[in-house]
Amino acid sequence: MYKVAAVLSFVAIMSFCGPNLCAEGQAPDLVLGVHARLFFPALGLQPQEVGDGAGPIGYSIVAIAEVRALVHLAVALTVHPTVDEAIEKFEFLKGSMSGGPTPSSEQIGDQFILWASPPHITRVDPVPREGGAVLFRRRNVVVQFGSRGELSAALELAHDMDDLIRDDREIAPMGQFAEPPEIVAVPLPQEDDAESQRLIVPQVRGLGNPAKVVFSAATAVGPQENLSDSFESKGKLKLRIPRYKGQNKIKITAVNEDNLVVTKIVTVSVRGGMDPPELPPGTLHPE
């Protein structure tokens, strides 16, 4: 048993540190980003970024024309500063899906789940097709996509995505972050009027050019999460203050061009708002 454990440990080190083993005390390498401009063409895809709050982490192919035997393909891709944060994101997405997963023996990433539905038609697609949703994590990267078409094609696409993240260092460079990626500060007043709007420029570190970082805000975490802003432009955030009076927590999310995502929770005291409703445990607005 000890020999097996030692072999598995060696494999893990080789996978995350490369052929030159990690120096003593050095953390295993992380994926520093995934270059979407290279990632999707390598898969034979030319998606468009999704607006309305998705930023550069959301991509969609909405044409009916089949691409890799799939239609209506929508992809969400996030790179996290730590493996633990990626695991947390994976578990959150897993819990947000309705219905149980479909049993599968596929080996994709470090964690993998599949949801499949039998052939059916939709309002925009009268052709009966299988539906599928794939969620997987490779190291500190989480990928989720939904599609209509052959389930085997969706699984093949997931394998190809995973292979690129695992093996292609031009598309998914690995190493150690020069400085911890984070949102350093969010210039919000401690007290503000309900539903007032603020155009703010959060201060970030470790995300490259701040002018190219895209921001979003949410007033709750978990199944109740709702975007509460509209994007003004990269580098800025047009934020609407919550409607409920009292202490409110807001989750700010920042995403850079390489899909590296960080979050920060800030608190604002709201004047003149509505009485807060009863909310289930785990929500962030209001306290």
pLDDT tens, position by position, 69-115: 888 888 999 999 999 999 999 999 999 888 889 999 999 999 999 99
249-280 as b/e, with b when 16 or more CB fall inside 10 Å? bbbbbbbbbbbbbbbbebebebeebeebeeee
Q: What is the mean pLDDT of residues 203-220?
A: 90
Higher pLDDT, 22 or 277: 277
* 117: its two tokens: 């539905």
- Per-domain residue ranges of the chain: 28-175, 182-271
Q: Tell me the pTM.
A: 0.82
**CA quadruple 174, 175, 176, 177: dihedral positive or negative?**
negative
User: What architecture does CATH give domain 182-271?
Assistant: Sandwich (2.60)
- The pLDDT-based confidence of 261 (bands split at 50, 70, 90) is very high
- The pLDDT-based confidence of 14 (bands split at 50, 70, 90) is very low
Higher pLDDT, 156 or 28: 156
- The pLDDT-based confidence of 65 (bands split at 50, 70, 90) is low
Supply the pLDDT for residue 137. Answer: 98
Average pLDDT value over all residues in the chain: 82
Which residues fall within 8 angstroms of residue 239, CB to CB, at 6 or more apart? 188, 197, 198, 199, 200, 217, 228, 229, 250
Q: What is the mean pLDDT of residues 246-257?
A: 90
Is pLDDT at 66 greater than 80 in this prediction?
no
- The pLDDT-based confidence of 280 (bands split at 50, 70, 90) is low
Which residues fall within 8 angstroms of residue 136, CB to CB, at 6 or more apart? 108, 109, 110, 111, 112, 113, 142, 143, 158, 161, 162
Supply the pLDDT for residue 273. Answer: 85
pLDDT in tens, 161-188: 999 999 999 999 999 999 999 999 999 9
Supply the pLDDT for residue 20. Answer: 37
- The pLDDT-based confidence of 238 (bands split at 50, 70, 90) is confident
Q: What is the mean pLDDT of residues 221-243?
A: 66
Share of the chain above pLDDT 70, in %: 77
Cα–Cα distance for residue pair 61/59, rounded to 1 Å: 7
* Candidate from 12-21, 101-110, 259-268 with smallest mean pLDDT: 12-21
* Candidate from 21-35, 106-120, 188-202 with smallest mean pLDDT: 21-35
Higher pLDDT, 152 or 61: 152
Which residues fall within 8 angstroms of residue 146, CB to CB, at 6 or more apart? 72, 73, 74, 131, 132, 133, 134
Q: Under CATH, what is the fold of the domain 28-175?
A: Protein Transport Mog1p; Chain A (3.40.1000)
